[in-house]
Amino acid sequence: MITGKMNHIKHSIKIIIVLTFFFINLASASAENIIDFPELLNLFATIKQRTVDFNEEKYAFYLDEPIKTSGYLQFKAPDRLSKHISKPEKISQEINGNILTIINSTETYTVNLEDHPEFSVILQSIINLLSGNHSALQKDFKINFNKQLTDWTLVLTPRNSFVAGQVESIQMNGNANKLSKIIVTEANKDRSITHIYNHR
Amino acid sequence: MPGVQRTFYSSHFIWLSLLALFLIYLFSSLRVVSDITQFMPDDHRDKNVQLLLNELQQGSTARLLIVSIKGADTEKLADISRELKTKLTNTNAYSLVHNGQQTLSSNEFISGQYKELYQYRYLLSKNSALSKQELTSSLQQRLSELRAGINFFKETLSTDPQNHFLEYLLKLTQRANTTTHHGVWFDKHKTSALLLVELNLKQFDLDKQQYLIEEINETISDISNKHALNNKLQVDITGSASIAIKTRSAIQSTSKWLSGIALTLMFILFWWSYRSLHLFIIAMLPLATAIICALAVTNFLFNQVHGIIIAFGITLLGVCLDYPAHLFSHHAKDKNPQHTILSIWPTLRLGVITTALAYLAMLGTGFSGLSQLSIFAISGLITALFVTRWIIPYWLTSNDIQPNHSYLITLSRIQFSAKQKVYSGILVIVACSLMLSYNYNSIWSKDISDLSPVPEQAKKLDKTLRHAVAAPDVNHVFMLKNNNSELLLQQTEELKGKLQSLQERGIVKNIYAVTDFIPSKKIQILNQKQLPQRKILRSNLTAAASDLPFKTDFFNPFIDDVIKSKTLEPLDIETVLAMPLGKQLQQDLFFRNNEWVSIVRLSGIKNDVALQQWLENRTDILPYYLNLKQATSALMSDYQKTALFRLLLGAMIIFIILLIFRPKIRAVFILAPVLLAVLLSISIQVLLGTSLTLFHTLALLLIIGIGLDYSLFFDRKWVSNKDYLQRLHGIFIGATSTLITFGILSFSDIPVLSALGQTVSIGVLACFVLTFIFSKSNRNKSEYNI
């Protein structure tokens, strides 16, 4: 009996768990039922503004230990992306069109991204993903998209040979329309890993 | 009449052969120059001023253009500026395109255009930053950049962790505008994107320059269409090349409309006076021949003709229309044209010869422009005289010219007594003295740009854009010269050191010298000596990087490069000038007349008076100082004094010739009204607020020539009232045609031509009135029964 009761309880728990997952998935899937990459981009395109926190680690062959930074990122559709580093020092970066403005405690730099395609391509990949611009991503990268339920992994490989000589790949991970990690691997295997959380 | 026929054939054969010869010569060899320095004295006392003016007009500065683009939002303008830079840089026609964009990349240092220079980076600028503290600060800065993601110079991070070379090259772009918006240069109001473009031209070729400027405009138009701006953009281009082209086109368009209107009005005048198209056409023959001949002779003697001389000279020769007018007016149906020309020939000849001799006085002044003008005028006047004498009469058919217009009869009845003549003379002198003394200080122009044929609008635009890009002031420069390039660089460094005080006191913002980029070998060796030994540098670097995440051996190439720099041979001027950087230094350092010349420039002069005061006490610096504005004012003054003196000399020559051919009293009465007209003309100009330039003085010579012609004709004896009416008619037609030509010229955009137009119009009117007043009062034919 007990066994039977236990079995019943186990069965009920299974049902509850399955139902819970079902309803959770149903809730997500109703908005975020990812079938393929274009659909994921459509989900991103619906959100016009978002702010997230990040932790970043940069690994380079000339560094003994990674350079660590943290702060928050802001995106405003269609192409405004800003990065505000708060630790270990305050640095803000803002992209407006082709112009990247960097402000640290002592100086303000203005960089025309067209002059630095290897740098531009990384930032543009994030902007184009967040704004759901499929054609722009397709133009710049070979796209490899994998999903498992609502989790997904996107690996972008630059098409331009000059850029490919600098940047090997940009990998982005996420769950539904939330980006959770960006790994940029340079041609010399230097890389940066950005963890993204606290979406708001 | 076989004799007449023979003369017809021989005169026409000579005329047409010479005309054909001159035309062939002009088509093959005419060289028109347009820069103002060609008009400068050949042997001016201040060679440095001339050298600088030459450099400004023909050197690398002359190939520099400032492009301003407005008419869209700033983001679009910045995009357009960048696209324009990319497109222009991709062609070889432009040696430099600056728009404030930072496009230097470490690849250029490792394998690109700066590879060679990169090795010398520790010799070319000071190396005091190799201490532990400085290295710490540099490395922390690099770390901060890495955190921010600015690792554009990562390829040179291991060899130049201080961005020593980048800082060195950045000084080049810092020489211009400081307002950067959206990553490119803008004016301070942020309404116009600005670019500096240097044309890749070795020769001063106006057509090629025009082509390249049009190409810039077309490129901007293409970009504007791409951005769907549909030519809403306003593009302004200035610079010596652009100004020269604007001037040329202004002269061309002025010539076109002026000649168009003048021809129409002249036709109306001739039709009204002679009722003949035929006469109008043949009246043009002496003028056209005179222009062709004057151009050919001037070009032959000087190997070039200045653009101003062409514009100015051709209008001067407009007076040649008077000669056939005299002939036509004196001609009657019952007379043989040969007899008519012979009857006026002595007067006509005397008028032309005296005027030509007056122009002769302008020769040998050392001012090439004056000499060219003198030759142009003399050859033109004499040609017109010859054509009027030996060609025109053959084409003068039996038109019966009846100068019986009522205005002539009314005019002919007006008579002035000797007393009235004296009173009117005194009145003119008193009025002119009052006008001139009241405006005494502003009679003469002190600004050399007043001599320039550049349209006023182009001058204004140039000033505004030069100010907008904060181009170094060309009015305050220091010039150093030496046969030895090393010594010159040392002198330049020493001078710049002394001038630093101006910067410290806030009198000037920046001081630019070539030694910012090519220090003397002495300084390069000093920089080498400052470099630490390997052991010390390694110890400093290890200490600097101790708390930072960089690998300890990562900066070994930097240590190696510093140590290698200690053994490098210092660079010399010639080597650097042959490198790509050399192109950007040509305005500061050049080789002229077997000497090296270095120019030190000031920018952002806040207080002119303070600068002058500071300089006054610096006897060690003052000899190198060139105030272009002051120097050119002195030059102008010299020029004007010379021209005025020669003008008086010309008047003297005329008077002496008149004394030879006419009784004393008559010579006085012939010349007096002309001189009074000259006086009246300049006084009215001064009263109107115009400062007189060299061209006004030359215009006065023209007035003398024209006035003398009237005066001599008025002075001629006449045989009948009809004869008197005929000459009055001739003079009246001559004066009216001159007034028409020069009156129209007064409306020209070109300051020089409008000045000439106003002066001559007033002068000719005054000449006509005064010579008429001073002409013989008794018009009774019985007095002269010749």
CA distance A112 to chain B (A): 6
Q: Do B148 and A102 touch (CB under 8 A)?
A: yes
Residues of B in contact with A104 (CB under 8 A): 144, 148
B197 assigned to some structural domain: no
Instruction: Report the residue of chain B nearest A190, measured CA to CA.
Output: B154
Tokens of B439: 């405006």
Place of tokens 């004066």: B735
For the record, the structure tokens of B319 come out as 């007076």
Q: What would the 3-class secondary structure string for B264-310 be?
A: HHHHHHHHHHHCCHHHHHHHHHHHHHHHHHHHHHHHHHHCCEEHHHH
Chain B residues inside the 8 Å CB shell of A121? none
**Is B82 in Cβ contact with A62 (below 8 Å)?**
no
Cβ-Cβ contacts under 8 Å, B79 against chain A: 97-98
Q: How many other C-beta atoms are found inside a 10 Å radius of the C-beta of residue B345? A: 14
Which of B565, B587, B612 terminates a domain? The answer is B565
Paired tokens of B442: 């502003």
Whether B629 and B611 have beta carbons less than 8 Å apart is answered as no
Q: Is the pLDDT of residue A28 over 90?
A: no
Q: Are B288 and B389 found together in one domain? A: yes
**Domain-embedded: residue B246:** no
Residue A118: closest CA among A163, A156, A161: A163
Which residues contact residue B673 at a Cβ distance below 8 angstroms, ignoring those fewer than 6 apart?
Answer: B425, B707, B711, B767, B770, B771, B773, B774
Does the bond joining A78 to the residue before it have cis omega, within 30 degrees of 0? yes
| CA–CA distances in Å: residue B282 to residues B344, B387, B392, B397, B443 | 18, 10, 7, 11, 41
What does the pLDDT read at residue B86?
Answer: 85
- What is the predicted pLDDT for the residue at A55? 93
A99:B182 CB<8 A: yes
B305-306 and B32-33 beta bridge pairing: parallel
For residue B545, what are its two tokens? Answer: 């990087």
Q: Do A62 and B158 touch (CB under 8 A)?
A: yes
- The residue among B359, B378, B401 that closes a domain is B401
Q: Sheet of B193-199: strands edge to edge?
A: B94-98, B193-199, B64-70, B234-238
* Low-confidence residues in chain B, pLDDT < 50: 778-786
Name the CATH topology of A34-197.
outer membrane lipoprotein receptor (LolB), chain A (2.50.20)
Mean pLDDT taken over chain A: 79
CB B19 within 8 A of CB B346: no
Chain A residues within an 8 Å CB radius of B149: 83, 93, 102, 119
Rounded to the nearest 10 degrees, how much is the dihedral formed by the CA atoms of B758, B764, B767, B772? Answer: -140
Give the pLDDT confidence score for residue A25 in this predicted structure: 42
Number of structural domains (chain B) is 2
Q: Is the pLDDT of residue A69 over 80?
A: yes
Q: Is residue B472 part of a domain?
A: no
What pLDDT, on the 0 to 100 scale, is given for residue B603?
78
**8 A C-beta contact, residue B601 and residue B492:** no
Calculate how close chain B gets to A61, using CA atoms only, in Å: 8
Mutation site for B-interface testing, chosen from A110, A116, A167 by largest number of B Cβ within 10 Å: A110
Residues B13, B123 within the same domain: no
CA distance B169 to B173: 8
Q: How far is B297 from chain A (nearest CA, A)?
A: 57
Say if residue A9's pLDDT is above 80: no
- Residue B296: per-residue pLDDT: 95
Helix (H) or strand (E) holding A141: strand A141-148
Residues B282 and B381 occupy one common structural domain: yes
Q: B740, B698, B732, B737: which is closest to B713 by C-alpha?
A: B732
**Residues of chain A neighbouring B101 (CB-CB closer than 8 A):** 112, 115
Cα–Cα distance for residue pair B412/B732, rounded to 1 Å: 12
Give dist(CA B774, CA B589) in Å, integer: 62
The answer as to whether B188 is a domain residue is: no
Domain boundaries, chain A: 1-33, 34-197
DSSP label at residue B473: P
B86's enclosing H/E stretch is: helix B74-89
pLDDT band, very low/low/confident/very high, at A194 (cuts 50, 70, 90) = very high
Least confidently predicted of A3-7, A186-190, B678-682 = A3-7
Q: How far is CA A92 from CA A111, A184, B184, B329, in A?
A: 13, 20, 20, 89
- pLDDT for B13 equals 93
Please compute Rg for chain A using Cα positions: 20
B105 contacts in A (CB within 8 Å)? 115
3-state SS class at B716: coil
d(CA B27, CA B22): 9
- Tens digits of residue pLDDT in B583-601: 778 778 888 888 899 989 8
Q: How far is A57 from chain B (nearest CA, A)?
A: 9
Cβ <8 Å between B147 and A69? yes
With contacts defined as CB-CB under 8 Å, which chain B residues touch A60? 146
Cα A200 to Cα A26, A72, A83, B177, B287, distances in angstroms? 22, 11, 15, 42, 87
Tokens for B267? 């036709």
Q: Say yes or no: B12 and B107 in one domain.
A: no
User: Helix crossing, B307-316 with B694-715: angle to 10°?
Assistant: 20
Adjacent-strand bridge partners of A73: A52, A83
- CB contact under 8 Å between B183 and A64, yes or no, is no
CA of B691: how far to CAs of B1, B131, B432, in Å?
Answer: 58, 62, 15
Region A51-80: mean pLDDT is 90
Same domain, B385 and B283: yes
| Distance from the Cα of residue B390 to its chain's centroid | 39
The answer to whether B78 contacts A114, with C-beta atoms less than 8 Å apart, is no
Q: Which helix (H) or strand (E) holds B121?
A: helix B121-124
Q: Does residue A59 contact residue A190 with C-beta atoms inside 8 Å?
A: yes
* DSSP 8-state code for residue B471: P
More confident residue, A53 or A16: A53
Contact partners, residue B636, CB within 8 Å, separation at least 6:
B444, B445, B446, B447, B448, B450, B451, B693, B694
Q: Do B150 and A110 touch (CB under 8 A)?
A: no
- Nearest chain B CA: its distance from A143 CA (Å): 24
Q: H or E element: which one contains B743?
A: helix B721-745
Helix (H) or strand (E) holding B659: helix B628-661
Neighbours of B718 (CB within 10 A): 19
Whether A111 sits inside 8 A of B150 (CB atoms) is: yes
Backbone angles phi, psi at B718, to 5 degrees: -125, 155
Which residues have C-beta within 8 Å of that of residue B239, sequence separation ≥ 6? B62, B63, B64, B65, B66, B462
Distance CA B459, CA A175 (A): 65
Would you tell me how many other CB atoms lie within 10 Å of the CB of residue B235?
18
Separation of alpha carbons B459 and B673, rounded Å: 39
Q: Tell me how far apart the alpha carbons of residues B695 and B253 are, in angstroms, rounded to a whole number.
A: 21
- Beta-carbon-side half-sphere exposure of residue B736 (alpha carbons within 13 Å): 17
The parent domain of residue B280 ranges over 1-30+276-401
Question: Which amino acid is it at B96?
Answer: L
For residue B546, being part of any structural domain is answered with yes
> Which run of H or of E encompasses B69?
strand B64-70
DSSP secondary structure code for residue B231 in this structure: T
Q: B733 near B269, Cβ under 8 Å?
A: yes
Q: Which two tokens stand for residue A124?
A: 């543009």
Q: Which residue of B has its CA nearest to A97?
A: B75
* CATH number of domain containing B394: 1.20.1640.10
pLDDT tens digits, residue range A81-114? 888 999 888 888 888 777 788 887 777 777 777 7
* pLDDT over 60 (residue A32): no
